[in-house]
Amino acid sequence: MDKKNIVAGITQGDINGIGYEIIMKALTDTAIAEQCVPVVYGSPKVAAYHRKVLNITSFNFNNIRSVAEAHPRKINLINCLGDDVRVELGKSTPEGGQAALAALENAVGDLTGGRIDVMVTAPIDKHNIQSEKFRFTGHTDYLRAKAGSNEALMLMISESMKIGFVTEHLPLRDVPGAITVSNIVSKLRILNRSLLQDFAIRGPRIGVLSLNPHAGDGGLLGSEEKDVIIPAITKANEEGILAFGPFSSDGLFGSGAFSRFDAILAMYHDQGMGAFKALAFDTGVNFTAGLPVIRTSPVHGTAFDITGRNEASGTSMRQAIYTAIDIFRNREMYQELSRNPLQPQKIEIHPEHVDELPPEPDNDDHGL
């Protein structure tokens, strides 16, 4: 195989969920094979079972033993499981978690070893995958540990918005203690760098959300904005990061003012995820920013409740593959420009980039 092709590793996810359905539906887009070499990490036996249940007759995998055998014009599949694997559609089982982890470990090994260029992960069950080898709340924490770095940020991406998070899969009662100046500044640095190198946005502008309702309402509803978030934004500004806020989430999203920023930084999971999924549930992409490797995924979960019914959409998985390819190319361009800083730099300006700051959203909800 010619290594000049971008090699995209795709993990099967939980074998009892919709992983294979969305993979096959996404890869029916023949344009993907023109952009990359797809390599699925999974099981020919499990793939055949899902094909039969879903009655997908026009889709075939090219079974290979390693990435080196991948055919550039076929959908390749590396077997990561034994022949005795058991599929129980729609059920969360220990075997389903073990199968998901086996595929993930093989793909991460090839990703960190440089044998694949990007990795796209199908959904896992965060409960049944737990084991001695996997004590994490999700892919982001796992990849952070594998990379030996805390420099990682969960970044949700769609055509209309990008949202990063200061805290991710953390109980709400623990969130206030994790909202510190250092944590916010660290996430702003990662987000700013990602917008520059991964999305080719020059001079990115980041809107920062508040923690409390109405951005604290002058301290009446909490002091975190005054004591923590504003000092963090000031420090980031001193480093040249164009961060603004804090804004209340209802005002920023309700008014549509979020569109005037290149990205939003939310304080906690549901604060940003609710707005994001309301606008981009089927088309959004989850990207692990800040790592030396590239990983994306669909924004939805295993969807055990519709597994085997041929009702799952492959759109988010398809977008995740294309996004990973775009990020790979943007990073190559950024690295080339960084090596030759005196050459004329042609960087595409983000289409939603504006020259003026957005107005402060109106947070008045008439006392409700």
Residue 1: is its pLDDT beyond 80?
A: no
Please give the structure tokens belonging to residue 119: 């990795």
DSSP 258-320: GGGSSEEEESSHHHHHHHHHHHHTTT-EEEEETSSS-EEEESS---GGGTTTT----HHHHHH
Tokens 């309700």 -> residue: 254
- Residue 130 CB burial class (10 angstroms; 0-12, 13-18, ≥19): middle
| Confidence at 264, pLDDT banded by 50, 70, 90 | very high
Task: Please report the pLDDT score of residue 47 as a whole number.
Answer: 97
| Domain spans in the chain, listed from the N-terminal domain onward | 1-149+291-313, 150-287+338-368
* Structure tokens given for 233: 């934004």
3-class SS of residue 62:
strand
Among all chains, which residue has been given the structure tokens 């759109």?
315
**Mean per-residue pLDDT for 273-292?**
91
State the pLDDT at residue 340.
73
Sequence-distant (≥ 6) Cβ neighbours of residue 304 within 8 angstroms:
16, 17, 90, 91, 92, 125
Q: What is the mean pLDDT of residues 265-271?
A: 96
Domain 150-287+338-368 fold is: Isopropylmalate Dehydrogenase (3.40.718)
The pLDDT value given to residue 283: 86
pLDDT above 70 (res 343)? no
Q: What is the DSSP letter of 226?
A: I
- Based on its alpha-carbon atoms, the radius of gyration of the chain, rounded to whole angstroms, reads 21
The residue ranking higher by pLDDT, 351 or 309, is 309
Same topology, domains 1-149+291-313 and 150-287+338-368? Answer is yes
Highest CATH level, class, for 1-149+291-313: alpha beta
User: Looking at the predicted structure, is the pLDDT value of residue 68 above 80?
Assistant: yes
User: Which pLDDT belongs to residue 4?
Assistant: 66
Residue 356 pLDDT > 60: no
pLDDT at 335 over 90: no
pLDDT (0 to 100) of residue 282: 80
What would the two tokens of residue 36 be? 């990359």
Tell me, what's the pLDDT at 348?
Answer: 47
Is the confidence at residue 351, as pLDDT, over 60? no
**Average pLDDT estimate for 31-54:** 95
DSSP string of 67-106, one letter each residue: GGG--TTS-EEEE-S-TT----TT---HHHHHHHHHHHHH
Average pLDDT score over residue span 110-114? 95
Give the model's pLDDT for residue 366.
Answer: 37
Each residue's pLDDT tens digit, 154-167: 999 999 999 999 99
pLDDT at 217: 81
- Report the chain's mean pLDDT, rounded to a whole number: 90
Quote the pLDDT of residue 354.
Answer: 39
pLDDT digits (tens, 9 = 90+) for 133-180: 999 888 988 988 888 777 889 999 999 999 999 998 889 999 999 999
pLDDT reported for residue 360: 52
